């Protein structure tokens, strides 16, 4: 499943594009490849939160927060580690997705991720919350594409297990001194 990506050296600038379940672009932002302990075939991308403040089941996203975003061409999810500007870990936000894709014909290269309804919030306290299962049920996928529906639910279970074990990509703690500055 998924494509093999070319080497993305540290410091490589990317445009990251989020596509909603219906295939429409809903977000576009700048990121840079970083070393955040991502094993092959994963890539770690650092971005800065510039949108309005969100509180998603206790996970705050505040303008100026630094995100370490983990994407894979073979896995059906991504995970964003959210850090306050001082390096304090706020928590993780995971999205069930199609495997991420790269478009190397653009400058900078574009990383595209296609969201698939269910999200998981994991907090440093150990609290884990599944979000948007109602959206999956309302999508009609159970009846129209049972294979994709089952894959989404199976991926949710995989994310939950990784989050509870604090296994990659839920591996980072506070990173006060380790964060490179985005210019």
CATH of the domain at 57: 2.40.380.10
Spell 16-48 as b/e; 16+ CB within 10 A means b.
bbbbebeeeeeeebebbbbebebeebbbbbbbe
Domain presence at residue 25:
yes
**Count of the separate structural domains present in the chain:** 1
Domain presence at residue 175:
no
- pTM, full prediction: 0.92
pLDDT digits (tens, 9 = 90+) for 66-104: 999 999 999 999 999 999 999 999 999 999 999 999 999
Task: Compute CA distances 19 → 9, 23, 26, 43, 137, whole Å.
Answer: 25, 5, 6, 18, 19
**pLDDT band (50, 70, 90) for residue 2:** low
Domain presence at residue 22:
yes
Task: Looking at the chain, list the stretches that DSSP marks H as alpha helix, in order from N- to C-terminal side.
Answer: 133-138, 141-144, 146-165
Domain presence at residue 34:
yes
Domain that holds residue 53: 13-165
Domain presence at residue 171:
no
Domain presence at residue 59:
yes
**pLDDT band (50, 70, 90) for residue 174:** low
Domain presence at residue 177:
no
**Percentage of the chain modeled with pLDDT above 70:** 93
Please give the pLDDT value at position 5: 86
Domain presence at residue 65:
yes
Asked whether the predicted pLDDT for residue 9 surpasses 50, the reply is yes
**pLDDT band (50, 70, 90) for residue 4:** confident
């Amino acid at each position: 499943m998924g494509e093999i990506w070319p080497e993305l050296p540290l410091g490589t600038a990317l445009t990251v594009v989020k596509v909603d379940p219906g295939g429409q672009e809903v977000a576009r932002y700048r990121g840079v490849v970083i070393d955040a302990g991502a094993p092959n075939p994963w890539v770690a991308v650092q971005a800065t939160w510039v949108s309005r403040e969100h509180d998603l089941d206790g996970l705050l996203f505040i303008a100026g927060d630094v995100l370490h975003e983990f994407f894979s061409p073979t896995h059906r999810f991504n995970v964003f580690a959210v850090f306050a500007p001082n390096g304090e870990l706020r928590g993780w936000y995971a999205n069930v997705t199609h495997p991420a894709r790269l478009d190397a014909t653009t400058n900078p290269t574009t990383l595209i991720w296609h969201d698939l309804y269910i999200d998981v919030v994991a907090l440093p306290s150990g609290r884990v919350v599944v979000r948007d299962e109602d959206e999956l049920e309302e999508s009609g996928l159970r009846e129209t594409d049972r294979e994709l529906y089952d894959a989404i639910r199976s991926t949710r279970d995989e994310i939950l297990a990784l989050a509870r074990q604090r296994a990659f990509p839920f591996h980072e703690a506070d990173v006060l001194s380790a964060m490179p500055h985005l210019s």
